[in-house]
Amino acid sequence: MGAICGGGPGIRRRASRHLLLVVAVIALVFVLAGGASSATMLLKNKSFEKPVVPSGSFQLFSTGSTFAHWSVVGAAGNVAVVSGSFTQNGFSFPARAGAQWLDLTGISNSATGVAQTVPTTPGANYALAFWIGNVVDPSGAFGVSSTVNVLVNGIQMFTATNSGGAGMTTQVWKKFTTTFTATSASTTIEFDNGDPSNDTHNGLDAVKMTLIP
């Protein structure tokens, strides 16, 4: 017992250093996790969960207006935040993520879209991932494909088309990804409707922008 007591302060110092090391490692893990989390949150309201619309319904936003971090841009017209329980003409339109999604055609069926400006690092590379929803309705109003034009700082850099869903009565989602290099301390990301004026459906959901290490 005496020998153990005599060595007590040294043991306590070593234990204290070990505890500090463990705390430092845990803190580093939290910092890294926080960095990854903030990277995936560069775009806000990325699944269009706000504003909350009535179940089974939608809400329109016209060019020049804003809603929950997004600005409505492009041609005069509107876009619609849509409930995932919305149905029409025998088709159902579930969201890809969460409870809502965005219809870029609204009720104007114009080349309208949404944009958001985020902080970026000049010279850094970023990845964009997003999902496009489509139904195939050859003899109806919804058309047969959904096309989204992606613009970075007003310059079109990517076009994505989802033609899936033939023979189905439920909105089908397809994921697309692209990359770009930032040229300034802030970058405006824009998603525009690329469907013809006789196509009344073009879904967008689960938009994510991340920094590429």
Q: Phi, psi at residue 17, to the nearest 5°?
A: -65, -40
| Per-residue pLDDT tens digits for 142-180 | 999 999 999 999 999 999 999 999 999 999 999 999 999
| Per-residue pLDDT tens digits for 65-124 | 999 999 999 999 999 999 999 999 999 999 999 999 999 999 999 999 999 999 999 999
3-state secondary structure of 40: helix
| Per-residue pLDDT tens digits for 137-149 | 999 999 999 999 9
In this structure, are residues 71 and 44 in contact, taking their beta carbons and an 8 Å threshold? no
pTM over 0.85: no
Residues with Cβ within 8 Å of residue 143, at least 6 apart in sequence: 137, 195, 196, 198, 199, 200, 201
**Amino acid present at 84:** G
CATH code that applies to domain 58-211: 2.60.120.260
Does residue 59 register a pLDDT over 50? Answer: yes
